[in-house]
Amino acid sequence: MTGVESPVYEPGHGLLKGRTAVITAAAGAGIGGATARRFLEEGARVVVSDAHVRRLKECETELAREFPGAVTAVPCDVTDGTQVTALFEAAVREHGRLDVVVNNAGLGGTSDLVDMSDEQWSRVLDVTLNGTFRCTRAALRLMRETRGGVIVNNSSVVGWRAQAGQAHYAAAKAGVMALTRCAAIEAAGFGVRVNAVAPSLAMHPHLVKVTSADLLEELTAREAFGRYAEPWEVANVIVFLASGYSSYLTGEVVAVSSQHP
């Protein structure tokens, strides 16, 4: 990391005490994993989910050591509607309620449009946009009955800004933004808030594997602080959107970015 100083990790303040949250794509060292940890530190009961069963089990084991009784793991591929339904049913069965959903599952990749296959396009859209739709629909059906809840979707600044090789990912993330706004209007009548975060550059091991060093250096140089975000810095904003401190926000997309034009 570059920059004049490192960010300070803020301790928990009980902002989500007593709430039950479902977080997709929560296994590993990315934004989902950081969000699960931050939610637990803020007092929530967390259902972590991921399509990678082995990594999910490792995540559950690690978090359960620190937060005994507060973590449940349920495997889920968000491209499968049956698995999505089972995930939310398991959360309610385990904890009796559903208060917060973080739709973090997404799939990227780099390919110029002229070389992109139908399968590449469809796979990214199915995980990133359709998966968010499936989980949002399942959550809203439950929250409509309980007359309350919060959904936070993970979008990206590329939903606004052009980047070569990212047509499929950018289209999916722009779709997540539009889905967020429309769902928020529909859900307001039964007391549910729906917002999204749009990170610019949050560093984690998977990003390093799928992005060239030159591109990462270029993207980092665009950031006003001269550094990338830590995944937990994005998670902090998700905590804010899930908490009562954002009680009047719905249909908003919050850029978690220091990027300048």
CB 165, CB 193: distance < 8 Å: no
Which phi and psi (to 5°) does residue 182 adopt?
-70, -45
R_g of the chain computed on alpha carbons: 17
Alpha helices in the chain (DSSP H): 31-41, 53-66, 81-95, 118-125, 131-146, 167-187, 205-210, 213-222, 231-242
Is residue 169 part of the annotated active site? The answer reads yes
DSSP state at residue 128: I
Q: Report the Cα 159 to chain-centroid distance in Å.
A: 15
Among 169, 228, 245, 248, the one annotated catalytic:
169
Active site residues: 169
